[in-house]
Amino acid sequence: MTRIIRILCVALLAIVGLVGSSLPVRAEDKCDRDIHKAEQRLREAVDKHGEHSKQAEKRRQELEEVKHRCGDHHDMDHDHH
């Protein structure tokens, strides 16, 4: 019985370690996708409505908000390199 409990504890710790280590990567991946999408929307707005249109300005603001929200993830990534 004690051996089974030890095995379960080790397995649980391994699972928690694996899941915990993959979470920051997923958050960073989401931020990269969100930034890419916001940049694409900005390019489309500029192409369709012009560089200084209200639509382009709105997309620029959205891009800045995404970059600001994701800044923590990217700053942590750059600190490790």
Q: How far apart are CA 38 and CA 67, in angstroms?
A: 9
Rounded to a whole number of angstroms, the CA Rg of the chain reads 21
Model confidence, pTM:
0.59
Write down the domain spans for the chain: 2-79
pLDDT digits (tens, 9 = 90+) for 18-66: 666 555 667 778 899 999 999 999 999 999 999 999 999 999 999 999 9
Residue 64: per-residue pLDDT: 96
CB contact set of 59 (below 8 Å; sequence gap of 6+): 38, 41, 42, 44, 45, 46
Q: Are 41 and 65 in contact (CB under 8 A)?
A: no
pLDDT at 15 over 80: no
Whether the CA torsion 4, 6, 7, 8 is positive or negative: it is positive
Alpha-carbon span 78 to 71, nearest angstrom: 10
What's the confidence (pLDDT) of residue 81? Answer: 41
What was the pLDDT predicted at 3? Answer: 83
